[in-house]
Amino acid sequence: MIEIKNITKTYKSGDNETQALKGVSFTVKDGEFVAIMGPSGSGKSTLMHIIGALDIPSSGQYLLDGKDVSTLSEDELGEIRKKHIGFVFQAFNLLPRTTVLRNVELPLMYAEVPKEQREQRAKEALLAAGMSEDRFLHYSNQISGGQMQRVAIARALVNNPSLILADEPTGNLDTKTGEIVLGTFQKLNDAGRTVVLITHERDVAEHAQKIIMLRDGVIVKEETTHKRRIANPELVNDIK
């Protein structure tokens, strides 16, 4: 699904240059769950922006589903984001005085999907993200942080993207609630979804199948988690 080939990214400010990525290469297979891990300043946020088609590399090549994203225009990048990538961020970015269902419907409203169809798709996405149907008409400011993140995951799913890109999705959550959210990602991955998760925490990264470690703009280690950390099923099914 993803091929990153010798990507560099250099930021310029006047006469100063900062090289955030220095020849990064890796692949993510269709249906894989990969964590990209590194401390602040490692280049993981820059890499996340490139994978998410929010930015383009200074050099190198990025292929998503066989398409060279690194050469696209702003409009073409926007189409990639809209059709192929579902984003989940640390901040939930939900509209507070709007129902759970309506929050998930929003991307479909912008895409001018008919009302009946978008409501059905939003419900299906919420159920896939582990939300109970009796919470669909709650306002987003009436639910817990873990439930908010599940709504955000459902919103990322609603356009049926080929890739779910999660940037520090447990950063605003306590340990137990974070485990619930990570379990949700694992269940989605088990159902065939490709997930790339950005984190600076080792115990979060260990929920993935593969960990790519960044430091100072280069990959220092890539490992398969043979003893993948499995979220407690009792917690994953607990949406209270």
Give me the number of domains the chain comprises: 1
Task: Establish if 79 belongs to a structural domain.
Answer: no
Helices H / strands E in the chain, number of each: 8, 10
Task: Establish if 152 belongs to a structural domain.
Answer: yes
Task: Establish if 137 belongs to a structural domain.
Answer: yes
Q: CA 119, 120, 122: angle at the middle one, nearest 5? A: 65
Model confidence, pTM? 0.88
Task: Establish if 136 belongs to a structural domain.
Answer: yes
Task: Establish if 48 belongs to a structural domain.
Answer: no
Task: Establish if 18 belongs to a structural domain.
Answer: no
Q: What does each of the 240 residues of the chain score in pLDDT, given as a tens digit?
A: 899 999 999 999 888 899 999 999 999 999 999 999 999 999 999 999 999 999 999 999 999 998 999 889 999 999 899 889 999 988 888 998 899 999 999 989 888 899 999 999 999 999 999 899 999 999 999 999 999 999 999 999 999 898 999 999 998 888 888 898 999 999 999 989 999 999 999 999 999 999 999 999 999 999 988 667 776 655 555 443
Task: Establish if 216 belongs to a structural domain.
Answer: yes
Q: Indicate which CATH number applies to the domain containing 93.
A: 3.40.50.300
Domain housing 97: 29-41+84-236
Quick check: 86 and 169 in contact, CB under 8 A? no
Q: Which DSSP string do the residues of 149-198 spell out, in sequence order?
A: HHHHHHHHHTT--SEEEEESTTTTS-HHHHHHHHHHHHHHHHTT-EEEEE
DSSP code of residue 56: -
Task: Establish if 24 belongs to a structural domain.
Answer: no
Largest Cα span, the chain:
57
